[in-house]
Amino acid sequence: MVDFLQMLKELPDVVLESSRSRERRNAGAHRLITPPPAGTPLLVSLALAFEHTGVYLGGNRVLELNGEGYVKDVSLTQFINGTSDGTSLIRNGTRIFAACDARTRRPLASKRTLETARAVIEAGVPRLGYDVAQFNCHLFTAACIRGVLPGERRFPLSLGGGVASVGKLERLLSKTLNHGKEICWCGVRRDKELFRYSLSPEKKIQLVAADACKNLFGYG
């Protein structure tokens, strides 16, 4: 159950962290990396300056906790565009990002993250439930990083309790997978075989409009 008082207390920091995270992504969006290894946390931007995360399984597949509370093994195309449950209206990002070391841009993949994600699939985990603040995709991604399976008592505390924000996930990534060093989200170069996905028609129009603004006004 959501602790509304705690959520209201943390909300300003959550919004600020998310905004700063997106600014960093936008600043380095042109510095693309090659497709990351399986076990790397992935991110796509959402509307209103928020984000959605999951775990890369390899083979153009991602494990995510969707907005209906189901754990899904989805394609990269579904991950970035959303699916028929209405998330296509929310997932407005046009690039998939991978968690990386900020200095070297090395993807932060781990064997434990991948093994936990695969164990969730093999267990056929039923619906987990969902709330946007405390039991969301960031919490699920964090649990995979920590090696915690759904159903374990410590699962809801995988990000320490309170609002499960991208800022808390970034701090966990730094501490657990990057020896306390700064992390960033690097855009991943699309590849016909290794990292293949298609953008929705709406997103293709969005990119054309952004390019037009950049050419005419110097921004976009």
| Tens-digit pLDDT profile for residues 71-122 | 999 999 999 998 755 556 688 889 999 999 999 999 999 999 999 999 999 9
| pTM, entire model | 0.89
Q: What is the mean pLDDT of the chain?
A: 88
Largest distance between two CA atoms of the chain = 55
DSSP state of 27: H
Contacts of 105 (CB under 8 A, 6+ apart): 31, 33, 184, 186
Write the secondary structure of 148-159 as one string of H (helix), E (strand) and C (coil): CCCCCCCHHHCC
Range of the domain at 8: 4-217
User: In total, how many domains does the chain have?
Assistant: 1
